[in-house]
């Protein structure tokens, strides 16, 4: 997606606020910002339907959404959560699960940024890698601390 510079940096910040993305290097976050799509919804629109297949991850950049699940016994949709600006959903897609576990509908006007699984995998190597990187840096920190302790004793 082509965005202005200000919007690009705002969206990079929005991505950084998602814990799974937090430890990604700046250049990867910037590339993810290049490939994301901005989508708009009106009140009551379905963004995700429970049981459908899907490979996209959403972050709310404006507005709020309702997460609901179908109660098999009564066949009613029950609200399980309301999500707001900065919240994300559809993360099952990034874990490789493609059947949606809940429905998500717009409450009023909503703007989301959307990343598809393939772009995410190509740019980050998947969630495991992002998590491993964090682990590595903890390991490195522990080694540096051990060295510091050794030299200061
Ligand atoms: P996914 O299963 O890909 O699509 C529906 C999304 O709704 C799901 O990912 C989660 O992001 C979100 N979701 C499902 N269940 C809950 C819940 N109990 N509370 C908050 N969010 C949920």
Name the burial class of residue 6, with classes exposed (0-12), middle (13-18) and buried (19+) by CB atoms within 10 angstroms of its CB. exposed
**Residues near 3 by beta carbon (within 8 Å), at least 6 away in sequence:** 11, 33
- Atom 13, ligand 1: residue with shortest CA distance: 102
For the CA of 92, the closest atom of ligand 1 is: 3
Cα(108)–Cα(43) distance, integer angstroms:
4
Given pLDDT bands bounded at 50, 70 and 90, which one contains residue 131?
very low
Q: How far is the CA of 95 from the centre of ligand 1 (A)?
A: 13
Given pLDDT bands bounded at 50, 70 and 90, which one contains residue 56?
very high
Q: Where are the domains of the chain?
A: 5-152
pTM for the complete prediction? Answer: 0.80
Does the pLDDT value for residue 152 go beyond 50? yes
Q: Give the model's pLDDT for residue 124.
A: 75
Q: Which of 16-20, 71-75, 125-129 has the lowest mean pLDDT?
A: 125-129
Q: For all residues of the chain together, what is the average pLDDT?
A: 85
Ligand 1 is surrounded, with C-beta below 6 A, by 48, 67, 80-81, 89-93, 100-102, 104
CATH hierarchy code of domain 5-152: 2.60.120.10
Report pLDDT digits (tens) over 24-49.
899 999 999 999 999 999 999 999 99
């Amino acid at each position: 997606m082509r965005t202005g510079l200000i919007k690009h940096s705002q969206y990079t910040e929005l991505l950084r606020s998602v814990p799974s993305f937090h430890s990604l290097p700046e250049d990867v976050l910037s590339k993810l910002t290049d490939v994301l799509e901005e989508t708009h919804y009106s009140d009551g629109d379905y963004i995700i339907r429970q049981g459908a297949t899907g490979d996209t991850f959403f972050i709310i950049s404006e507005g709020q959404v309702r997460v609901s699940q179908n109660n098999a016994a009564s066949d009613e949709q029950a609200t399980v959560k309301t999500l707001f600006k900065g919240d994300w959903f559809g993360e099952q897609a990034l874990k490789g699960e493609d059947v949606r576990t809940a429905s998500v509908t717009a409450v009023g006007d909503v703007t989301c940024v959307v990343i598809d699984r393939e772009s995410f995998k190509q740019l980050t190597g998947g969630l495991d890698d992002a998590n491993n990187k964090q682990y590595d840096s903890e390991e490195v920190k522990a080694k540096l601390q051990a060295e510091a302790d050794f030299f200061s004793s």
